[in-house]
Structure 1
Amino acid sequence: MTLHQNLDENGVYVGRIWRPDTGPCLVTLRKGRIIDITTKAAPTMRDLLELPDPLAHVQNTTGTPVCTLEELDNISRPDAGENDLRHLAPSDLQAIKACGVTFARSMLERVIEERAGGDPARADAIRAKVSGVIGDSLRELVPGSVEAARVKSVLQAENLWSQYLEVGIGPDAEVFTKAQPMSAVGHGAAVGLHPSSSWNNPEPEIVLACASDGRILGACLGNDVNLRDIEGRSALLLGKAKDNNASAALGPFIRLFDDRFGLDDIRKADLDMTIDGADGFQLTGHSSMREISRDPADLVAQTCGAHHQYPDGFMLYLGTMFAPVADRDAKGAGFTHHAQDRVTISTAGLGQLVNTVMCSTKAPRWNFGTSALMRNLVGRGLL
């Protein structure tokens, strides 16, 4: 399990690990080695990203070598114990937010889910009807534009308007709470599916790391695990479809923006994803940020501002164009996860995020929350 092929030796990476008998620590990556840079000035990722110059702090902190990246990758497994050395999600106290329906392809799949009422057996017929009317006409639309309003009128006349199209091409983006602070899992961990779901998929995404004032400081990879049947039954079930034990994966590191890598690189990034099943099934997918309907900076502005503050900063999933329709178990049934699927999400410059799928009831319980973190840091003399 290696990340080297997608990491930049000149990039500045920050993450979190669990150190046995110590607890969560901030780390950076230097020449293939994991360096502990936890200090009183920045005991948490939240504190690091709130510094006036996080980049300089990381570069100027000597730190303590822990292990090699390869060693950390090899021992970060779904069956790792609570006190084992392992990757953690690179965020801690930040809110974990997500944007939905930001790509035309996934927007159409959300419409299909809604009209199928969460039943994958009905999806093919509905997909043919909806695509026959809409086609690719939505791909070039600017959300909130006069042309988008005209298309809305046409779709309403065809009785094809949907709440998903509203947030896809209307003026307001869909921004929701994906998971609670401290609840995300990191590279190598299990990702969880609610046991009542039988139609679901991964959502490979880029995730922005933002300070409390809205500054976009860096990015990492994310898996916004999605339950298509539950959300398809009703959009009011979004909380149940999105926020479950181990349903948000982030990692492996946040790459801080500098003069070598910034938001423009995110705007043109390509993501690759592979699902390897224990049954021999394999599915590959590709997502290009060039096809996103809303600019990442606009999504951040719609998340944080005078209307809503995040004093501990926030992580923002930018959405995905990946919505798999390939049949896995039966003709016309489409794709759904099986237990022990291995999901690999990768992009140049941000590395690889690898997770293994299981039921949220079987994934390790989330026990270490904000109060536990505060007590741990006080005990270590860092607060």
Structure 2
Amino acid sequence: MPGGSTGCRRHPIPESFLSTQSQLKNGDIPMKKPPATHWLPDDGLTGTLVGRAWVPGPVPGPSVIVLRLDGVYDLSAHFATMSDLLDAADPVAQVRAAPGRRVGSIDQLMHDSGVQSDDPQVLRLLAPCDLQVIKAAGVTFAASLIERVIEEQARGDAAQADAVRRQVVELLGGDLAAIRPGSPQAMQLKALLIDKGLWSQYLEVGIGPDAEVFTKAPVLSSVGSGAQIGIHPGSAWNNPEPEIVLAVNSRGDTVGASLGNDVNLRDFEGRSALLLGKAKDNNASCAIGPFIRLFDASYSLDDVRRCTVSLQVEGLDGFALQGSSSMAQISRDPLDLVAQTLGAHHQYPDGVMLFLGTLFAPTQDRGQPGSGFTHQLGDVVHISSPQLGRLVNDVNHCDRVAPWTFGLRAFYANLSARGLRVQTADSTAP
């Protein structure tokens, strides 16, 4: 796999991005979403940026797209699904060779994606994945490992978190980031923590041999940049989780990366790990985007390994939160997480989008001292990385976000109505 970005021509971001303005309005929540301007990577269109968009037409529907210097191109005549594209022998070469059909300017796509609309004749971004299973690796950073232990010890009560945090950090001590999961050193630490009565299911997956890999969201349920993300109305302690998301095809090849928000309900999961599904999987609780950057001469897995993912939260109350997650501090290599997700033990014939976890767990007080962070309605969440761009979403309750209705049957009916045929890697009957 080519590494680094040395020697690649840099294509600037179109100048008009610096002045595009958009505002999001939804019900009685006065959204303060900023202009949908800088969603592209810092190096503009240098890389191979593919995604999915709702494309207007006689039969409007979701299409695979690519960004080029002169606009947005619909590739659905060549690849009916993103799974088809990522399963190609050489996705980058095939994207570059496919003429596609121009459907609008990048300015238009960015602007219209930042405005909530149910008009089927409006071009707007979708999550860049379709048939892939949405998986997520948890507790892959030492800092987030400690926070999971705190949630468990506090029984999901945010009011107890500050006191529990001091106790847990004092007992754990040292630098957990220096411990390789599954190593003899990790097993010695496990024995010590069991002796102290502090062993936890989170420590097991954090420093043990087996990673936590769970299903984050159903196929086709993820939202893209510009959409609202959903928080369960029964949650009083929740947070965004800014992560790198790997695009993995059916053969297990890692062919690109995107950004993701693994929205989490800390109070639900803290009460019981068996509530993980309820804490993680709700309407609009998974955001991915804005695009998938395919691995090519300008961008590789090594760039993923050394990148930093930044988070910014802006509240209607004037609250501001900033943080970052350095992939250099991940405790398991991304390819190890891929290998623990699919292989001889488990196949995914349409591929996987794999969240890699986050170092960042917000603890900044938003209310009373010691109360920690939780979302409020109308928060605007920015997740960014220099080579992947910016994923921007605003927060609402999941029962007030537009319901998810476009599932697999609707997707295939739409493809059929547009005369698009899905490719199959293996037509052998089960």
Q: TM-score range by the shorter chain?
A: over 0.9
Matched residues in 2 for 1:59 and 1:270: separation?
28
Seen in structure 2, the aligned counterparts of structure 1 residues 106 and 73 have a Cα distance that, compared at 3 Å, is same
Match for residue 70 of structure 1 among 100, 107, 118: 107
Which residue pairs with 2:236 in the alignment?
Answer: 198
Aligned AA (2:93): A
Which residue pairs with 1:42 in the alignment?
Answer: 79
Seen in structure 2, the aligned counterparts of structure 1 residues 330 and 82 have a Cα distance that, compared at 3 Å, is farther
Query: 2:274 is paired with a residue of what secondary structure?
Result: helix
Query: 1:139 is paired with a residue of what secondary structure?
Result: helix
Match for residue 140 of structure 2 among 102, 122, 137: 102
Deviation, 1:20, is: 2.5
The answer to whether the aligner puts 1:12 opposite 2:16 as a matched pair is: no
Match for residue 263 of structure 1 among 301, 306, 315: 301
Seen in structure 2, the aligned counterparts of structure 1 residues 32 and 127 have a Cα distance that, compared at 3 Å, is farther
Q: Deviations over 1:194-237 (max 9, x none)?
A: 11101000000000000011100000000000100000000000
Say if 1:78 and 1:190, in contact at 8 Å, map to a contact too.
no
Q: Tell me the number of residue pairs that the alignment of Structure 1 and Structure 2 aligns.
A: 382
Matched residues in 2 for 1:232 and 1:105: separation?
16
Deviation, 1:133, is: 1.5
Within a 5 Å distance, the mapping from 1:29-178 to structure 2 comes to 29-31=67-69, 33-39=71-77, 41-77=78-114, 79-81=116-118, 83=120, 84-178=122-216
Deviation, 1:77, is: 3.3
Matched residues in 1 for 2:276 and 2:174: separation?
27
The answer to which of 166-175 and 372-381 deviates more is 372-381
Aligned AA (1:195): P
Matched residues in 2 for 1:35 and 1:78: separation?
21
Which residue pairs with 1:361 in the alignment?
Answer: 399
Q: Which runs of 4+ in 1 moved over 6 A?
A: none
Which residue pairs with 1:374 in the alignment?
Answer: 412
Aligned AA (1:340): G
Which residue pairs with 2:383 in the alignment?
Answer: 345
Which residue pairs with 1:210 in the alignment?
Answer: 248
Query: 2:383 is paired with a residue of what secondary structure?
Result: strand
Matched residues in 1 for 2:79 and 2:359: separation?
36
Which residue pairs with 1:253 in the alignment?
Answer: 291
Deviation, 1:368, is: 0.6
The answer to whether the aligner puts 1:244 opposite 2:282 as a matched pair is: yes
Q: Deviations over 1:175-208 (max 9, x none)?
A: 0000001000001000001111010000000000
Unaligned runs of at least 5 residues, structure 2: 1-35, 422-430
Seen in structure 2, the aligned counterparts of structure 1 residues 283 and 291 have a Cα distance that, compared at 3 Å, is same
Query: 1:366 is paired with a residue of what secondary structure?
Result: coil
Matched residues in 1 for 2:53 and 2:268: separation?
33
Say if 2:41 and 2:385, in contact at 8 Å, map to a contact too.
no
The answer to whether the aligner puts 1:220 opposite 2:220 as a matched pair is: no
Say if 2:40 and 2:388, in contact at 8 Å, map to a contact too.
no
Say if 1:7 and 1:350, in contact at 8 Å, map to a contact too.
no
Deviation, 1:136, is: 3.8
Matched residues in 2 for 1:255 and 1:298: separation?
21
What's the % identity of the aligned pairs? 55
The answer to whether the aligner puts 1:297 opposite 2:331 as a matched pair is: no
Matched residues in 2 for 1:32 and 1:131: separation?
53
Unaligned runs of at least 5 residues, structure 1: none
Deviation, 1:66, is: 1.8
Within a 5 Å distance, the mapping from 1:287-326 to structure 2 comes to 287-326=325-364
Matched residues in 2 for 1:338 and 1:181: separation?
27
Matched residues in 1 for 2:266 and 2:396: separation?
16
Q: Deviations over 1:236-264 (max 9, x none)?
A: 00000000000000000000001221111
The answer to which of 23-32 and 345-354 deviates more is 23-32
Q: Deviations over 1:305-363 (max 9, x none)?
A: 11111000010000001101010021111000000100001101100000000000011
Say if 1:89 and 1:249, in contact at 8 Å, map to a contact too.
yes
